[in-house]
Structure 1
Amino acid sequence: MSEITYVRGDATVPSAKGPKVIAHVCNDIGGWGKGFVLALSRRWPEPEAAYRAWHRDRAHNDFALGAVQLVPVGRALWVANMVGQRGIKTGSKGVPVRYEAIDTALGRLADEAAALGASVHMPRIGCGLAGGKWSRIEPLITERLTGRGIAVTVYDHGGGG
């Protein structure tokens, strides 16, 4: 079983050969405006436009916790919008991250990445604004992605470790 590779750098500039998917976690209320999505939007307009349209038409599609939307942004390069957080605020039900939804989304992402022959690149998903703990998310990535032989690189921007 392969391991997750950790590097310092920008997840919007994946360092690998071949097809690549940049994965990140979105909320389930159609909000796009803080965190890693800003870096995505600086590079490509398509992921935000696709996410907003997906949310707007949710009565007629699969938009829900655990869903994944693959958006092409270049030659052999996609962004995976994964719905893995309920709302955007910490409240009586705790932080927005939903580990079960991220687990489901990672399973779906694994199917897509395997079909594309793609490696997966991401920041520490679910651990920023969503309030998740990497100690809970890392095993999900190991089980769903690297356990299936899919190469995963996690990018720590600047500091971190």
Structure 2
Amino acid sequence: MKKIIYLKSDATNPQTEGNKIIAHICNDLGGWGKGFVLAISKRWKKPENEYRKWFQDAENFNLGEIQIVPVEENLWVCNMIGQHKTIANSKGIPPIRYEAVEKCLEKLSHKALKLNAGVHMPRIGCGLAGGKWEEIEPIIERTLLKNNVEVFVYDF
């Protein structure tokens, strides 16, 4: 089985050859304005515009769904709905939804294989979503790596 390759670099600027998909977590509220999405929007307008359109259409805009947006030749951004709302609920449960992240990454693994692309990401779900990497890493192993997709995780 492949292993996650960790890099000290900017996830919005993947340095590998060939096709690449930049994956990140979005919320189910249609909100785009904090965290890693700002770095994406600085480089390309299309992922945010497509996400907002998707939210307005409300078709398949649910936890566990993904949207693949082409941004450059050989480069796509994958908007993954893996976060419920944007703040912890009254019981202190953070917005991350691990089961939704798993569904997203399973779908992404099939897209990546179709596009013959490696997947690049920050430590998804571990910033504003309040997730723990110890929970996310095994999900990546069960989905992308198990399906033989190359995965690069960036620490800025």
**TM-score (normalizing by structure 1):** 0.95
Partner of 1:120: 119
Partner of 2:86: 88
* Aligned positions of 1:61-76 closer than 5 A: 61-76=59-74
In structure 1, the gaps of 5 or more residues are none
RMSD: 0.6
**TM-score (normalizing by structure 2):** 0.98
Shift of 1:135: 0.3
Report sequence identity in percent. Answer: 54
* 77, 80, 91: which one aligns with 1:79: 77
Distance 1:97 1:51 in 2: 18
Residues 104-145 of structure 1 deviation map (CA, whole Å, 9 limit, x = unaligned)? 000000010010000000000000000000000000101100
Distance 1:84 1:39 in 2: 18
* Aligned positions of 1:22-37 closer than 5 A: 22-37=22-37
In structure 2, the gaps of 5 or more residues are none
* Aligned positions of 1:1-161 closer than 5 A: 1-58=1-58, 61-93=59-91, 94-157=93-156
Shift of 1:21: 0.1
